[in-house]
Amino acid sequence: MESQNLKHRSRDDPRFTTTTSNEKNRANRREKRMAMAKRGLRSLVIAVSFPLSLTLLNIYLFGSGRGYASLAKPFWFPPLWLLHTGCLASSFVMGLSAWFVWVEGGFHVKPTALSLYLGYLGLSMAWHPTVLWMGASWAGLLVSLAMVGTLVGCSRDFGKVNPIAGNSVMPCLAWAAFLATVNLKLVFL
């Protein structure tokens, strides 16, 4: 009787563990991807919140606009709340595009991109106190023109690393050009 010689296959039998080892490999890969996604999300939050928090602090310290509010301005000049909102949006988008470049390893490949980005951050932090707090329109014009220059460089260098990052700098460039136009008009008021 041949049926007495048959053995029952068990899942614990090492000869038949090919499916369980594949499942373990899939679970291991899934865990690695989840850990990588968590690190990526953490770095995204840091990359976006750092320039946003700097801009919020700048608005809190220098955003009252005592020099800006006392001027007689044309009708097309933005109110202070719109200037603050535009600066916040610009810092958010620049943080996001810098993160895109960082993810691709672009700051190691193109170190000038990092220096241009940090230059933009410094210039955008200098614009609020220069124009809105001190009322120095000429200095604000120079700062905003330098901001436009650094954003052109950022767009070029970011675009070489990641085209999405290069294109996402364009709204910030438009905002900086608008600020330069406002500063130019403030000079001749």
Q: How many CA atoms lie within 13 A of 96 on its CB side?
A: 13
pLDDT given at position 33:
64
pLDDT tens-digit profile of 67-92?
Answer: 676 777 778 888 888 999 999 999 99
Whether the per-residue pLDDT at 38 is higher than 80: the answer is: no
Contact 64, 132 (CB under 8 A): yes
Domain ranges of the chain: 48-187
What's the predicted TM-score (pTM) here?
A: 0.77
Of residues 120, 114, 170, the one with CA closest to residue 145: 120
Contact 156, 166 (CB under 8 A): yes
Domain covering 48-187, topology: Ferritin (1.20.1260)
Q: Which two tokens stand for residue 59?
A: 């608005």
Straight-line distance from the first to the last Cα atom of the chain, in angstroms, rounded to the nearest whole number: 109
DSSP state of 76: T
pLDDT above 90 covers a percentage of the chain that reads 48
Residue 36 to residue 115: CA distance in whole angstroms: 27
What number of H helices and E strands is found in the chain? 8, 0
Q: Which two tokens stand for residue 97?
A: 């595009």
Instruction: Give me the helices (H) in 63-110, please.
Output: 66-69, 80-103, 106-109
pLDDT tens-digit profile of 123-153?
Answer: 999 998 998 888 888 999 999 999 999 999 9
